[in-house]
Structure 1
Amino acid sequence: MDAYLLIITLVSIVLVILGVSLFKWHAFISLTVASLFLAIFSGLSWDKIVSAYETGVGGVLGHLVGILALGTILGKMLSESGAGLQIANFFVKIFGEKKLPWAMFLSGFIIGIPVFFEVGILILLPLVISIQQATKKNILLIALPGIAGLSIVHGLVPPHPGAIAAIGIFDANLGKVLLYSLIIALPAGIVGGPLFAKYIHKRVLPKGEPELVKVEEKDEKSLPSVGISFFAILLPVLLMIIGTAAPYMKFLPDEVMKALAFVGSPLVSLLLAVFFAFYFLGFKQGIGKEKLKKFTEDCILPVGSIVLIIGAGGAFKQVLIDSGVGTTIGNMSESLSLSPLVLAFMIAGLIRIATGSATVALTTAAGIVSPIIAGMSGVNVELLVLATGAGSLMFSHVNDAGFWMVKEYLGLSVEETFKTWTVLETVLSFVAFAGVLILDLFV
């Protein structure tokens, strides 16, 4: 029976992969079909199949929908107001021309905290191309560190959707994940960003030119100030850190501690940051109510797709639990003495290579590993989130939208993109995982 359950689980994962890659189904459809297939063939009774699916979707999306929507709105405000550009400009001025890779990495890292990877690229690229035209340096030296900063944050740091979904699935502490993710993401990003860019730009000289992005000169006087731009990005992070620390502030009255924990919850901290952005990056910059409403509507539409994928990933997890597959895999991994961290990293990596989506990889792998660790003691679930996130970054190739974005926006050939972007993502993945294993020795 155990062998049969494992084979059915593997077939269901292959269904997800074939659905996304061969049949070109949306990941939501693929995950839903795989969940129903697994439920039926594992012998789950007919009356429990739909309720398991609904429980899984509700469980993971209950705390997530608002966070995703608010994070996207904040990202849109940073993009439209020029706040992201202002931050990048600030780092370039501080570091000077010789240390441009470091300036671009920090820009990408900080801009990437509240925005999706794709939005971050669109904020950074005009600056990358402006610098390249002014300095005549190889564009890879300037662009790759910025992209590495965006990517490592997207894979590991809340409030990005994959990380938030995994936190929900593993029932991890968001504040701890945020703290650990920053400790791990910085060194991983430095190795995959400035250091890798310095190595590769001497070996790959792009033959093409970036043509998709036309650099528009923005009057610096029309941009929000550097201080306001930084504060808008870092406000939700600061509030979440305060919220996590609140229960330990025993010197404060009980009600104050509860109020700080409330303000530091992801939903409330992002809501406050959005209102801050509406006022200081919107009204103060001359953007009217109608335009703000349009920005909000424009950026909420794409969230629907991510919400569906994450919800279906949660359903897959619930079916794994209810059908007993999780217990079976757990017993096997215990007999193999495989660390849950290694297991999560490997499963996420395989799904990422197969489907091309870091979010699908993170959510599906978390769903597979979560039932396995249910009966284990001493598993650090916060580090498990980050091990899964690290695995979800590796070996981006032709089935990943990010691969094509980097190729087209930087004017690279497919071969050049493999030598730069694909290697960069794999370096980020393995260095981040090494960071997880090192941190596991101390926490």
Structure 2
Amino acid sequence: MDAYLLIIALLSIVIVILGVSLLKWHAFISLTVASLFLAIFSGLSFEKIVSAYETGVGGVLGHLVGILALGTILGKMLSESGAGLRIANFFVNVFGEKKLPWAMFFSGFIIGIPVFFEVGILILLPLVISIQKATKKNILLIALPGIAGLSIVHGLVPPHPGAIAAIGIFDANLGTVLLYSLIIALPAGIIGGPLFAKWIDKRVFPKGESTLITAEPLADDKLPSTGVSFFAILLPVILMIIGTAAPYMTIFPEGVRNVLAFLGSPLLALLIAVFFAFYFLGIRQGMNKDSIKKFTEDCFLPVGSILLIIGAGGAFKQVLIDSGVGTTIGTMSESLSLSPLVLAFMIAGLIRIATGSATVALTTAAGIVSPIIAGMSGVNVELLVIATGAGSLMFSHVNDAGFWMVKEYLGLTVEETFKTWTVLETILSFVAFAGVLILDLIV
């Protein structure tokens, strides 16, 4: 019976992979079909199939809808107001021409916290191209560090969708994940960004050049101030870290600690940051209320798609639990003495390579590993979220939209993209996982 359940589980994962990559189904459809296949062939009754699906979707989306929506709105305000460009300009001025890779890395890292990877690229690349034309340096030396900063934050740091999904599935503490992920993401991004860019600068010389973006950044006097731009991005991070630390602030009365914890809850922290952005990045920058409303509504289409994927991943996880597959895999992994951290990293990596989607890899891998750790003690679920995120970054290639985005925006050939973007992503993945293993020994 155990062998049969494992074969059915494996086939359900194959359905996800083939659905996304070969049949070009939306990941929501692939995950839903895989869940139904697994539920039916593992012997669940029709009533239990429906309840498992509804429980799984509701359980993971219950506290994520508001967080993802607010995080996306904040990112949109940063993009439209020019706050991201202001931060990039600040780092370029501070580091100077000789240390441009470092300036671009920190720009990407900070801008990447609240915005999606694709939006971050659109904020950074006009600046990259204008710097490249002025300095005549290899565009890879300037662009890759910024892209590395965006990518490592997108893969590991909440409130990005993959990390948020894994936090919901593993029932991890968001504030702790945020703290750990920033500690791990910074060194991983430095190795995959500025250090790798300096190495590749002497080995790959792009034959073409970008034709998709013309360097026409907003005039300096149209941008919000540096202080306001930084504060808008870092406000939710600061509030969430305070909220996580609040229970240990014994110098304050219990009532004050409770208020701090409440204000630092992810939903409240992001809501406060969004209203800050509405006023200081919107109204104060000359936007009217209709423009701000339109920007808010523009955010909901991409959020809807991501929520469907995350919800279907939660359903897949619940079916794995209810069918007994999770218990079976858990028993096997215990007998193999395989660490859940290693298991999550490997599964996420394999699904990423097969489907090309970091969010699908993170969500599916978390769904597979979650039932396995249910009966285990001593598993650090916060680090498990980051290990899964690290695996989901691995070996981006031709089935990943990010691969083609970087190729086209930087004017690279397919071969050059493999040598740069694919290697960069894999470095980020393995260095971040090494960081997880080191932190696991300490905390």
Q: Which moved more, 1:245-254 or 1:342-351?
A: 245-254
Gaps of 5+ in 2: none
Q: Distance in 2 between matches of 1:246 and 1:437?
A: 27
Answering whether residue 26 of structure 2 is matched by residue 26 of structure 1, we say: yes
1:86-97 alignment runs, 5 A limit = 86-97=86-97
Q: Distance in 2 between matches of 1:322 and 1:434?
A: 33
Per-residue CA distance 1:236-288 (angstroms, 9 max, x = gap): 00000011011111222222111111110111100110000000000000000
| Structure 1 SS opposite 2:442 | coil
2:313 paired with 1:296: no
Amino acid across the alignment from 1:229: S
Q: Which residue of 2 aligns with 1:147?
A: 147
What is the match of residue 377 of structure 1?
377
In structure 2, the residue matched to 1:180 is 180
Q: If the length of structure 2 is used for normalisation, what is the TM-score?
A: 0.99
User: Residue deviations 1:316-343, cap 9 Å, x none?
Assistant: 0000000000000000000011011000
2:110 alignment counterpart: 110
- Indicate whether 1:80 and 2:80 are aligned: yes
Residue of structure 1 in register with 2:341 after alignment = 341
1:99 paired residue number: 99
For residues 248 and 439 of structure 2, what CA distance do their matches in structure 1 show?
A: 22
Greater shift, 336-345 or 245-254, is seen at 245-254
Amino acid at match of 2:48: K
Q: Which residue of 2 aligns with 1:207?
A: 207
Q: Distance in 2 between matches of 1:136 and 1:262?
A: 50
Compute the displacement of 1:76 (Å): 0.6
Query: What amino acid sits opposite 1:63 in the alignment?
Result: H
Residue identity opposite 2:201 in structure 1: H
1:427 maps to what in 2?
A: 427
Provide the C-alpha distance between the structure 2 equivalents of 1:276 and 1:102, rounded to a whole number of angstroms.
Answer: 29
Q: How does 1:296-315 map to 2 (within 5 A)?
A: 296-315=296-315
Partner of 2:261: 261
Moved more, 291-300 or 18-27: 291-300
Query: Which amino acid counterpart does residue 321 of structure 1 have in structure 2?
Result: I
Letter paired with 1:13: I
Cα deviation for residue 301 of structure 1 reads 1.2
Cα deviation, residue 345, structure 1: 0.3
Residue type of the alignment partner of 2:173: N
- Deviates most, 173-182 or 325-334: 173-182
Kindly state the Cα deviation for residue 222 of structure 1 after the two structures are TM-superposed: 1.0
Shift of 1:217: 3.8
CA-CA distance at 1:147 after TM superposition: 0.2
5 Å matches for 1:65-76? 65-76=65-76
Q: Percent identity at matched positions? A: 87
Distance 1:285 1:34 in 2: 48
- In the other structure, the counterpart of 2:392 is 392
CA distance in structure 1 between the aligned counterparts of 2:362 and 2:30, rounded to whole angstroms:
15
For the 8 Å contact 2:127–2:217, the answer to whether it is kept is no
Deviation digits for residues 89-127 of structure 1, max 9, x if unmatched? 000000000000000000000000011111111110111
Q: CA deviation at 1:202?
A: 1.1
Give the match for residue 122 of structure 2. 122
- Counterpart AA for 2:302: P
CA drift at 1:298:
1.1
What is the letter of the counterpart of residue 415 of structure 1?
E
Contact kept, 8 Å, 2:348 with 2:392, in 1: the verdict is: yes
Preserved CA contact (<8 Å) 2:126 2:217 = no
Structure 1: how far apart are the matches of 2:217 and 2:180? 38
Query: How far off its partner does 1:156 sit?
Result: 0.5
Q: What's the counterpart of residue 247 of structure 1?
A: 247
Deviating above 6 A after TM superposition, structure 1's stretches of 4 or more consecutive aligned residues are none
Structure 1 match to 2:273: 273
> 1: distance between equivalents of 2:353 and 2:284?
45
1:329 aligns with 2:329: yes
**What's the secondary structure of 1:302's corresponding residue?**
helix
1:219 matched to 2:211: no
Match of 1:408 in 2: 408
Q: TM-score, normalised by structure 1?
A: 0.99
Between Structure 1 and Structure 2, how many residues are aligned? 443
CA–CA distance in structure 2, aligned partners of residues 99 and 2 of structure 1: 57
| Offset of residue 219 of structure 1 | 1.5
State how far apart, in whole Å, the 1-side matches of 2:251 and 2:93 are. 42
Deviation of residue 215 (structure 1)?
A: 1.6
Q: Deviations over 1:394-414 (max 9, x none)?
A: 000111111111011111111
CA distance in 2: counterparts of 1:261 and 1:84, whole angstroms: 29
Structure 2: distance between partners of 1:375 and 1:396: 33
Per the TM alignment, residue 173 of structure 1 is displaced from its structure 2 partner at its CA by: 1.2
Q: What's 2:351 paired with?
A: 351
